[in-house]
Amino acid sequence: MAQNPFASAMSQLQTAARAMNLAPSLLKALQKPQRILDVAIPVRMDDGSTKVFNGYRVQFNDARGPFKGGIRYHWDTNLNEVKALAFWMAMKCAVVGIPYGGAKGGITVDPKQLSLGELERLSRGWVQAMFKYIGPWQDVPAPDIYTTPQIMAWMVDEYSKQAGQWSPAAFTGKPIEVGGSEGRMFSTSQGGFYVLEELAKKMKFVPRRTLVAIQGFGNVGAFAAEIFHQAGYVVVAVSDSKGGIVNLKGLDVPAVWKHKEATGSVQGFAGTKPIDNKKILELPIHVLVPSALEGVITGANASRIKAKAILELANGPTTPEADVKLFKRKIPVVPDILANAGGVTGSYFEWAQNLNGVHWTEREVLTKLKPIMVESFDAVWKMAERHQVNLRTGAYMVAIDRIAKAMKLRGRV
């Protein structure tokens, strides 16, 4: 994990602020979250003892609509990381023009060490601690790393109990049976696919001759591998937290899924060579897709990247030093706040359905998702071209412009 993701986020903001000549008062308003909630969550463990966990919610900016963003369960997560992720959510929602601000939550925990009952009590505890500050028109949480539809089901149940009424629009990423949306499970990856298709047009990549490596095989990476493979792209390497596999002729992705389900890892899949999580970034391929944690492409390894383009499905995988080097080497990096925005866009559809008491088909959802991703890619690409900046700065310029307008209209600056 990166040393200081929030410092990286602020450095990205500075670069964009300079490029667009942002007013100092606006810059200042975007450098600090509106609210930080840092709470203790006591949980009764199965052995009768009580353990206290650290929980967070950082509400960065809500000028454009209710705060929005996932909750991360990870042994390494901390307030600094959650702050960076909250800031990126505000930018992300603005890039794709959905009516939300940005927030992020977290709990420092290794969820694999908890029993199902402990996990449920911990999740309900997070909601009890945050109850006053969240809700359909205040702040709408969702899943992130190691949080699942089941966890969202417990959370929406707890919220509804506290509120005294069924409140499905308080959380997104729920199971279909309790108000979830078709397509939300894979909307991050599907949105990433629409962006990949646009990138491929610009780079003149033809799917069957385009080699792709994906770091991360979780909520995002596993679906990306599947969707890209189905569309004819050649997925040559994938990895999970334990390590990766490579075969430059291409992987049978559905078979890798089965292998992971059976053994708990992608490792050891027949006909592949092992590769570690660092080396997978340096393969001679066309598109590198970091889909796990932040800070993996750095000033130290950027010069060894052989991919012709990078599609960031993780949040914050590339450090500012790496960005400078990759831009010089003319390797486009489609930034997280654009490339992975299909996730929160899927959440927006879920929230909109819940508020209206309706349920859309998967087809309806995907028909609405595609133009949002394609038009956002286009706006970012044009902005970057016009100002001769990288795609990340272009995306920030699109986002900041929208947030700034909302802040001015609401009299906040």
Q: Which residues contact 7 (CB under 8 A, 6 or more apart)?
A: none
Residue 347 interacts with ligand GLU (CB under 6 A)?
yes
Contact indicator for 147, 65 with CB cutoff of 8 Å: no
Which of 63/142 has CB closer to ligand GLU?
142
Among 13, 41, 142, 307, binds ligand GLU (CB under 6 A): 142
We find the least distance from the C-beta atom of residue 256 to ligand GLU, in angstroms, to be 24
Which of 120/312 has CB closer to ligand GLU?
312
Residue 172 interacts with ligand GLU (CB under 6 A)?
yes
Which of 26/142 has CB closer to ligand GLU?
142
Residues annotated as part of the active site: 104
Among 118, 120, 139, 144, binds ligand GLU (CB under 6 A): 144
List the structure tokens of 209.
Answer: 């001759």
We find the least distance from the C-beta atom of residue 170 to ligand GLU, in angstroms, to be 12
Which of 85/397 has CB closer to ligand GLU?
85
Residue 315 interacts with ligand GLU (CB under 6 A)?
yes
We find the least distance from the C-beta atom of residue 62 to ligand GLU, in angstroms, to be 13
Which of 234/341 has CB closer to ligand GLU?
341
Which segment (47-55, 152-160, 342-350, 404-412) binds ligand GLU by CB under 6 A? 342-350
Q: Which residues contact 88 (CB under 8 A, 6 or more apart)?
A: 9, 102, 104, 315, 316, 336, 337
Among 343, 353, 372, 392, binds ligand GLU (CB under 6 A): 343
255 vs 188: CA distance, rounded Å: 22
Residue 61 interacts with ligand GLU (CB under 6 A)?
no
Residues in region 259-298 near ligand GLU by CB under 6 A: none
Which segment (196-204, 282-290, 340-348, 377-385) binds ligand GLU by CB under 6 A? 340-348
156 vs 167: CA distance, rounded Å: 7
Among 5, 33, 66, 69, binds ligand GLU (CB under 6 A): 69
Which of 171/257 has CB closer to ligand GLU?
171
We find the least distance from the C-beta atom of residue 35 to ligand GLU, in angstroms, to be 17
We find the least distance from the C-beta atom of residue 411 to ligand GLU, in angstroms, to be 27
Residue 15 interacts with ligand GLU (CB under 6 A)?
no
Residue 353 interacts with ligand GLU (CB under 6 A)?
no
User: How big is the site for ligand GLU, counted in residues (CB under 6 A)?
Assistant: 11
* SS3 of the chain: CCCCHHHHHHHHHHHHHHHHCCCHHHHHHCCCCCEEEEEEEEEECCCCCEEEEEEEEEEEECCCCCEEEEEEEECCCCHHHHHHHHHHHHHHHHHCCCCCCEEEEEEECCHHHCCHHHHHHHHHHHHHHHHHHCECCCEEEEECCCCCHHHHHHHHHHHHHHHCCCCHHHCCCCCHHHCCCCCHHHHHHHHHHHHHHHHHHHHCCCHHHCEEEEECCCCCHHHHHHHHHHCCCEEEEEEECCEEEECCCCCCHHHHHHHHHHHCCCCCCCCCEEECCCHHHHCCCCEEEECCCCCCECCCCHHHCCCCEEECCCCCCECHHHHHHHHHCCCCEECHHHHCCHHHHHHHHHHHHHHHCCCCCHHHHHHHHHHHHHHHHHHHHHHHHHHCCCHHHHHHHHHHHHHHHHHHHCCCC
Among 55, 70, 192, 221, binds ligand GLU (CB under 6 A): 70
Which of 78/267 has CB closer to ligand GLU?
78
Which of 211/220 has CB closer to ligand GLU?
220
Residue nearest ligand GLU, Cβ-based: 70
Among 245, 280, 334, 344, binds ligand GLU (CB under 6 A): 344
Among 68, 74, 174, 259, binds ligand GLU (CB under 6 A): 68
Residues near ligand GLU, by CB under 6 A = 68-70, 142, 144, 172, 315, 340, 343-344, 347
